[in-house]
Amino acid sequence: MAPTREVAVVSYASWSSPAELQRNEVEMLMPVVAEAVADSGLPREEIGFTVSGSCDYLIGAPFSFVSALDAVGAWPPIRESHVEMDAAWALYEAWIQIQKGSVDSALVYGFGKASSGDPSEIFTLQLDPYTVGPLWPDTISVAALQARAWMDRTGGSEQDLVEVGARSLRNWAWANGVDLEPDAVDVLLAQPTIASPLRPGDIAPDTDGCAAIVLAADDLARELAARRDLRPAWITGIDHRIEPQALGLRDLSLSTSTTLAALTAGLADGPVDVAELHTQFSHEEHILREALGLEDGTNVNPSGGPLQANPPMTAGLMRIGEAAARVMDGEAGRAVAHATSGPCLQQNLVCVLEGEDA
């Protein structure tokens, strides 16, 4: 849909850990939601819409997203919604609500704990249950089919894969002020494959975490950002597209849905300083760079990206938050965030963020 209102990210907070063994989801989420709301400068009760993304299968219990509302403060009753997807799609719903004109602001959050179960088996349930599910291809094996398809088409090597993981590690270390061994690529390449051609360094780690974003429209966004001497990260384009579920029906070496979403989001209308891509496997960065038409000057995943921290149902929203943070602090004039859902980049969301008013 053609946007009629200017909508911006005005605050972002996140938290992640390889495994949160103390707090439950509500306890994990509470401080992150509180931080995003406080940073927005908007009193909680004035936020027009609340929407979240999560997956009940992660803890094997229905309606776990309803209990998560205990972290938000939902009294008096609020306008609320939920998607059983990465919270990047919750942000899309919030953006639609604001475009409709029914609200001027929204709180979006996502949460997920990989540590409660085995996500690589849990997400096997999203494959076709009739003809594929009985084989139990785990998510790593399925991704490896895509990695091989990309290598076969482009002549790319396993080193090309591992270099993505190594750069992600370097970026993460830089962003977090950690010293790193200089021979990281060699170390990663020396590891045995888990599902060839993928090695541990090519695969996003299991992570627990959550993230929250506050969106605001038009003058409200300008006013909130000005109070903190930041500029809003304006969403100048956002779209998402999906491809067939059956893996044998599409060319896995390409991401046609990403290309289409980027086209609608107007990505090619200007230079891209920063790209935060929802790359859960190293080869996905190569496929996405091509699908998005990114040039060498674009800084890809300066946060380290999902290959360092990949909380389920949250890492996509974190891409929007990280890209927005680079725009808000002035490091990037124009940034793109990408989120994905489903096996082998089945569904892709592209969000373009800019520092200057559209």
Partner 1 sequence: MADEVLVQHHTLEYPGGYTRTVGPVIGRYLTGLRDGRLVAVRLADGRVMIPPAEYDPVTGDDAGESDDDFVEVGPAGVVTSWTWISEPREKHPLDHPFAFALVRPDGADTAIVHVVDSGTEHAMHTGMRVVPRWRDERVGSTLDIEAWVPEATGGASAASPASSTEPVTTMSSPVKLEYDIGAGLAATRFLLGLAQRRILGQRTGPGGEVYVPPRGSDPKTGTPTVDEVEVGPRGVVTTFCVVNLPFSPLAPEVPYVCAQILLDGADIALFGLVADMPAADVRQGLRVEAVWADEVGPTLESIKWYRPTGEPDAAYDSYKEYL
Please report whether residue 46 would count as binding partner 1 according to CB under 8 A.
no
Cβ-based burial of 47 (10 A; exposed 0-12, middle 13-18, buried ≥19): buried
Least distance to partner 1, CB of residue 11, Å: 16
E-strand stretches of 277-354 = 299-300, 334-341, 347-354
DSSP 59-87: TT-TTHHHHHGGGT---S---EEEESS-H
48 makes contact with partner 1 (CB under 8 A): no
Residues between 231 and 270 with contacts to partner 1, criterion CB under 8 A: 244, 246-249, 252
Residue 110 phi/psi, 5-degree rounding, is -135, 150
Q: Which of 9, 42, 108, 195 touches partner 1 by CB under 8 A? A: 195
Q: Which stretch binds partner 1 (CB under 8 A): 148-156, 213-221, 267-275, 303-311?
A: 148-156
Q: Of the ranges 67-75, 224-232, 271-279, 294-302, which one interacts with partner 1 (CB under 8 A)?
A: 67-75
Q: Is 201 in the site for partner 1 (CB under 8 A)?
A: no
Q: Residue 136, interface with partner 1 (CB under 8 A)?
A: yes
Which member of 17, 24, 81, 299 binds partner 1 (CB under 8 A)? Answer: 24
Number of residues that bind partner 1 (CB under 8 A): 67
Q: Which stretch binds partner 1 (CB under 8 A): 55-63, 213-221, 231-239, 256-264?
A: 55-63
Burial class for 243, CB neighbours closer than 10 Å (0-12, 13-18, 19+): buried
The piece of 145-153, 172-180, 256-264, 305-313 that touches partner 1 (CB under 8 A) is: 145-153
Cβ-contact 169, 304 below 8 angstroms: yes
Q: Phi/psi of residue 197, each to 5°?
A: -90, 15
Q: Per CB under 8 A, does 63 bind partner 1? A: no
Tell me how far, at minimum, the Cβ of 153 lies from partner 1, in Å: 10
Distance in angstroms (rounded) separating the CA atoms of residues 165 and 42:
38
Interatomic CA distance for residues 287 and 155, integer angstroms: 13
Q: Does residue number 59 form part of the binding site for partner 1 (CB under 8 A)? A: yes
70 vs 29: CA distance, rounded Å: 9
- Nearest distance, CB of residue 165 and partner 1, angstroms: 17
96 membership: H or E segment, kind and range: helix 87-100
Residue placing its CB nearer to partner 1 in the complex, 71 or 332: 71
Token code pair at residue 69: 């509302």
Site string for partner 1, 76-115 (x = CB under 8 A): ---------------------------------------x
Q: Report in angstroms how near the CB of residue 107 gets to partner 1 at its nearest.
A: 10
CA distance 225 to 40: 8
Residue of 295, 308, 340, 303 lying closest to 321 (CA atoms): 303
Spatial distance between the Cα atoms of 221 and 232, rounded to a whole number of angstroms: 6
Instruction: Pick between residue 44 and residue 79 the one whose CB is nearest to partner 1.
Output: 44
Pick the binder of partner 1 from 13, 122, 307, 309 (CB under 8 A): 122
Cβ count near 344 (within 10 Å): 22
Interface with partner 1 includes 69 (CB under 8 A)?
A: yes
147 binds partner 1 (CB under 8 A): yes
Give the nearest distance from C-beta 122 to partner 1 in angstroms. 6
How many Å apart are CA 142 and CA 284, to the nearest integer? Answer: 12
- Using CB under 8 A as the criterion, which residues of the chain lie in contact with partner 1 when the complex forms? 20-27, 30-31, 33-34, 44, 57, 59-61, 67, 69-75, 115-118, 121-122, 124-125, 127-138, 141-142, 144-149, 152, 192-198, 244, 246-249, 252
